[in-house]
Amino acid sequence: MRFELLHVDRDTGARAGRLHTPHGIVHTPVFMPVGTHGTVRALTPEEVESTGAEIILANTFHLSLRPGGALIRRAGGLHAFMHWARPILTDSGGYQVFSLPHLRRVTDEGVVFRSPIDGDEVSFTPERVMEIEEELGADIVMPLDVCLGYPAPDAEAALALRRTLLWARRAKAAHRRQDQALFGIVQGGFAPERRRQAADDLVALDFPGYAVGGLSVGEPKPMTYDLLSAVTERLPEARPRYLMGVGAPPSLVEGVGRGVDMFDCVMPTRIGRTGMALTAAGPLSLRRSSHAEDLRPIEAGCPCPACGDYTRAYLRHLFKAGEMLGPRLVSLHNLAFMGRLAAEMRGAICEDRFGPWSRATLARYGDGVGRGNRPDAAEPSGTLNGSEA
Amino acid sequence: MRFELLHVDRDTGARAGRLHTPHGIVHTPVFMPVGTHGTVRALTPEEVESTGAEIILANTFHLSLRPGGALIRRAGGLHAFMHWARPILTDSGGYQVFSLPHLRRVTDEGVVFRSPIDGDEVSFTPERVMEIEEELGADIVMPLDVCLGYPAPDAEAALALRRTLLWARRAKAAHRRQDQALFGIVQGGFAPERRRQAADDLVALDFPGYAVGGLSVGEPKPMTYDLLSAVTERLPEARPRYLMGVGAPPSLVEGVGRGVDMFDCVMPTRIGRTGMALTAAGPLSLRRSSHAEDLRPIEAGCPCPACGDYTRAYLRHLFKAGEMLGPRLVSLHNLAFMGRLAAEMRGAICEDRFGPWSRATLARYGDGVGRGNRPDAAEPSGTLNGSEA
């Protein structure tokens, strides 16, 4: 994998670039739709691609438990298995493991837990996770890490950070497939000094890309952005930066302004399935009775099929009648919205107008019809690493 | 609407024809996918069209209760509302009304029932149903009829038949839109003599097409086919014939052999949503563990996306993981199967080989891997008129 930094916005830290992967080019900043189980929920790969998505995320934890890495390897890898020919990033599943109610044992060696599917005892070590990720065959792979909630006691944060770094080293040593890029994950809790130290230690290991994990897990937004800035300032300019589990439109804009290149979140598809549509003026609940006779599209001018072919009244009818086409169409619209948002950001960066563009965009979004229904509210800590399970 | 009878098979009663409607031509024999609430469950209209479907069915009962005929009229009619530009047939909802647990009152005037959605008292008369169907704007519309289960006491059957004929007369008198063809429905219970009488009485009213209702509601299959033959023999050759709520592949073949032109059933989409796929060798349950590592498509050579792009192992994974893409893809495959079946029948009829073709097709289907899972078993009486509710 090769990262090509094309342009840095003159007045902000926003960057435009290109990730060259074995399955094609990804233009950054990029939003990566989440397909936890090897499918972006409710959509075909062709539909996902039609939204402008150039890379998707899948989850090693979920896929290793079902259907298993060995089957996916025999099927020709995850790309062939799920019929997606473009780049894939697999998360390690660290976040999911540390969210389990039946976590059995965490040691320096790794974690032992009970499978939520069949109750079997499963062991994850940095080496085992790399092995599964090699079976899946994604273009970008994440190492096993220790995830914290907010707030985290200092001793716990220190221990988690020490293990995350230890595991990053072991993952790097175990990493073999040269067609897969192993990123490092900056953890470190909620103290800026520890985050900076974590970034420095990780950078010393020399990864081809760096993720920021453990943010947007319940801490106040200003703290998120301060910690993010503290980290990105320490990361090498020539490597891509990935803010894990963050996907609300305002958070994307704020993250890009702080030099982040990649994002993922289940939010657009998750809220889409409930009838909440993203628009430039903020989210719109299609279940509201005010849309019962509304013959307008979700968003005028949006080129997605949900907006081109259907009215709000029809979409509302689908949701009221419990028809699957509703979740499909609004998921599709929301990913198209995220695709357009990322494309707009790239354009603004390349033309050195990201600052004014982002202020106007954030103001419009906040003033929208959806006030009180901002997707931030629909992005609980549970979506941090993008699990839909 | 105009029906053009193209060819009658030399050795059987099978017919090939063309229905000319305001929204285009329908080649018969035809299978009509069911979109009860104005959506063929889980699929877009484009996908439905890609299966070769030239006409779909929707339900007046369901659509009148939600979202209401008035809204659909304001949206430009059902074609525009649901984004389907080809022909539509709306069933009256007689079957649904007579299946309701809270049916209040049936008189010669009509039926009064409680809405299953909000408990409101609703009155359906032949005139009211025609009024709603004019708001919906389908190409072919069905009159309100009285539906019986099997077995039916003789007095009940006689009363039901009398009312069905009375209501057919009133529906015809109330029918105004010349761009809509009002079919007659032959009821009459399970005595061949009464069925013949019903057909004769209805034909005397001169409808542009005739449906056979109240079959496949639990009676033995030989009785179904005997009653069907008794009726089709009395119907005018120049008018299309529609066997309501029947859609299992063997039943379609048997029906076509007895001179039926049109069929509808929820079965292909309903069983598709549970992971049951139709194949020429019989239905195939994708949930079975025997498909866990099966890297073959559902059916080799099938041109649908489910077969072209995915393996049985992946589809099984989608169902095991509860992912919506599974029901989508298998619904799509099943409709594509029905579309291919209808096209094969048309070809066999036009080449005067329907007899041998149907014997070979029925034998292959019965000998298939799915023995014991034939869709007949998945076609309970509740699907008679094609309701998915």
Residues ≥6 apart with Cβ < 8 Å to A156: A148
A&B contacts, CB < 8 Å = 98
* Distance (Å, whole) CA B74 – CA B61: 18
Is residue A89 very low, low, confident or very high in pLDDT (cuts 50, 70, 90)? very high
Q: Which residue in chain A is spatially nearest to B71 when comparing CA positions?
A: A293
Residues of B with Cβ-Cβ distance to A270 under 8 angstroms: none
Determine the Cα angle at B361 with ends B359 and B362, to 5°: 65
Determine the 3-state secondary structure of B50 from DSSP: helix
Q: What is the pLDDT of residue A378?
A: 36
Answer yes or no: do B327 and A324 touch at CB < 8 A: yes
Is residue B376 very low, low, confident or very high in pLDDT (cuts 50, 70, 90)? very low
Mean pLDDT, range B178-194, rounded to an integer: 97
Select from B293, B314, B316 the Cβ nearest to the Cβ of A82.
B314
**Average of per-residue pLDDT values in chain A:** 94
The answer to whether A100 and A119 have CB atoms below 8 angstroms apart is no
Q: Which residue in chain A is spatially nearest to B44 when comparing CA positions?
A: A325
Tell me how close the Cα of A170 comes to any Cα of chain B, in angstroms.
31
Give the model confidence (pLDDT) of B49-69 as tens digits.
Answer: 999 999 999 999 999 999 999
Determine the 3-state secondary structure of B302 from DSSP: coil
Residues of B with Cβ-Cβ distance to A41 under 8 angstroms: 323-325
User: Going by DSSP bridges, is the β-strand pair A56-59/A88-91 parallel, antiparallel, or unpaired?
Assistant: parallel
Residues of B with Cβ-Cβ distance to A323 under 8 angstroms: 37, 39, 41
Determine the 3-state secondary structure of A28 from DSSP: strand
Give the number of other Cβ atoms within 10 Å of residue B359's Cβ: 12
Q: What is the 3-state secondary structure (H, E, C) of B324-349?
A: CHHHHHHHHHHHHHHHHHHHHHHHHH
Q: What is the pLDDT of residue B367?
A: 60
Which of B131, B62, B63, B71 has the alpha carbon at shortest distance from B96?
B62
Select from A310, A311, A320 the Cβ nearest to the Cβ of B66.
A320
Q: What is the pLDDT of residue B257?
A: 98
Is residue A372 very low, low, confident or very high in pLDDT (cuts 50, 70, 90)? very low
Q: Which residue in chain A is spatially nearest to B388 when comparing CA positions?
A: A323
Residues of A with Cβ-Cβ distance to B317 under 8 angstroms: 37-38, 66-67
Q: Which residue in chain A is spatially nearest to B314 when comparing CA positions?
A: A81
Answer yes or no: do B75 and A311 touch at CB < 8 A: yes
Give the model confidence (pLDDT) of B284-328 as tens digits.
Answer: 999 999 999 999 999 999 999 999 999 999 999 999 999 999 999
Compute and round to an integer the Cα radius of gyration of chain B.
20
Is residue B10 very low, low, confident or very high in pLDDT (cuts 50, 70, 90)? very high
Q: Bridge partners of B90? A: B58, B141
Q: What is the 3-state secondary structure (H, E, C) of B188-247?
A: CCCCHHHHHHHHHHHHHHCCCCEEECCCCCCCCHHHHHHHHHHHHCCCCCCCCEEECCCC
Task: Out of A311-325, A343-357, B14-28, B95-109, pick the least confident.
Answer: B95-109
Residues of A with Cβ-Cβ distance to B74 under 8 angstroms: 293, 295
The answer to whether A87 and A139 have CB atoms below 8 angstroms apart is yes
pLDDT at position A36 over 50: yes
Kindly list the strands in the beta sheet with B24-28, ordered across the sheet, starting from the edge strand earlier in the chain.
B2-8, B15-21, B24-28
Indicate the pTM of the whole model: 0.95
Q: What is the pLDDT of residue A371?
A: 40
Give the model confidence (pLDDT) of B189-237 as tens digits.
Answer: 999 999 999 999 999 999 999 999 999 999 999 999 999 999 999 999 9
Task: Out of A255-259, A374-378, B111-115, B345-349, pick the least confident.
Answer: A374-378
Residues shown for chain A:
389
Which of B129, B90, B362 has the alpha carbon at shortest distance from B252?
B362
pLDDT at position B388 over 80: no
* Distance (Å, whole) CA A98 – CA A221: 23
Interface of A with B (CB under 8 A): 37-39, 41-45, 62, 66-67, 71, 74-75, 81-83, 292-293, 295, 305, 309-311, 313-314, 316-318, 320-321, 323-325, 327-328
Answer yes or no: do A66 and B321 touch at CB < 8 A: yes
* Distance (Å, whole) CA A194 – CA B297: 52
The interface predicted TM-score of the complex, written ipTM, equals 0.95
Tell me how close the Cα of A331 comes to any Cα of chain B, in angstroms.
12
**Average of per-residue pLDDT values in chain B:** 94
Sorted by where each starts, the structural domains of chain B and their CATH numbers stand as: 2-271+376-383 (3.20.20.105), 272-375 (no CATH)
Determine the Cα angle at A331 with ends A330 and A334, to 5°: 85
Q: What is the pLDDT of residue B378?
A: 37
Which of B379, B137, B179, B175 has the alpha carbon at shortest distance from B276?
B379
Answer yes or no: do B323 and A41 touch at CB < 8 A: yes
Tell me how close the Cα of B123 comes to any Cα of chain A, in angstroms.
21
Which of A270, A260, A340 has the alpha carbon at shortest distance from A28?
A260
Tell me how close the Cα of B301 comes to any Cα of chain A, in angstroms.
18
The answer to whether A93 and A64 have CB atoms below 8 angstroms apart is yes
Mean pLDDT, range B331-342, rounded to an integer: 98
Answer yes or no: do B42 and A305 touch at CB < 8 A: no
Tell me how close the Cα of B90 comes to any Cα of chain A, in angstroms.
18
Is residue B385 very low, low, confident or very high in pLDDT (cuts 50, 70, 90)? very low
Active site residue A264: yes
DSSP A239: S
Residues of A with Cβ-Cβ distance to B81 under 8 angstroms: 311, 313-314
What values do phi and psi take at B269, rounded to 5? Answer: -80, -35
Give the percent of chain B with pLDDT over 90: 93
pLDDT at position A381 over 50: no
Answer yes or no: do B67 and A313 touch at CB < 8 A: yes
Active site residue A118: no
* Distance (Å, whole) CA B168 – CA B182: 9
Q: What is the pLDDT of residue B103?
A: 81
* Catalytic annotation, pick one of A9, A11, A91, A154: A91
Answer yes or no: do A295 and B75 touch at CB < 8 A: yes
Mean pLDDT, range A323-346, rounded to an integer: 98
Answer yes or no: do B39 and A323 touch at CB < 8 A: yes
Q: What is the pLDDT of residue B296?
A: 98
User: Going by DSSP bridges, is the β-strand pair B140-141/A30-32 parallel, antiparallel, or unpaired?
Assistant: unpaired
Give the model confidence (pLDDT) of A127-169 as tens digits.
Answer: 999 999 999 999 999 999 999 999 999 999 999 999 999 999 9
Give the number of other Cβ atoms within 10 Å of residue A310's Cβ: 24
